[in-house]
Amino acid sequence: MQHRRGPRGPLTPEQEAEEIARTRLPHEGEVFAVAIEMLGADRIRGECDDGFTRICRVPGKMRKRVWVRLGDLVLIKPWTVQSDERADIAWKYTRTQAAWLKRKGYLKKIHYEG
């Protein structure tokens, strides 16, 4: 089993517990999604918890800091125009956070393999 590493080695159980405690939950207008296809140009296709499949854009402030891969759980904010087709990525969850969200029942309609 591969462990996620902290700045000074593997995460301790206390660090994992702190990471789970700080897990961001969706605010009004935000939806969970799983990256199902990489489209290029900082865009992914995401299967959303509300039943839609949207093209999700990585905003400029996250572009160099966050790398989204296939199967990652992300939090998206649908656009006001074309809200059923397009969205911006607001947050990317770690595997530990995603497993906690799945265990607690926050992921209702999407199938996440963490």
Task: Give per-residue pLDDT as tens, 43-58.
Answer: 999 999 888 999 999 9
Calpha distance 6→40 (Å, rounded): 29
**What is the rounded CA–CA span in Å between residue 26 and residue 15?**
23
- Domain ranges in the chain? 27-104
Amino acid at 9: G
**For the whole model, what pTM was predicted?**
0.78
Other CB atoms within 10 Å distance of the CB of residue 104: 11
Architecture of domain 27-104: Beta Barrel (2.40)
Collapse the DSSP code of 37 into the 3-class scheme (helix H, G, I; strand E, B; otherwise coil) and give the result. strand
Three-state secondary-structure class, residue 3: coil
pLDDT single digits (tens) 21-48: 678 888 899 999 999 999 988 899 999 9
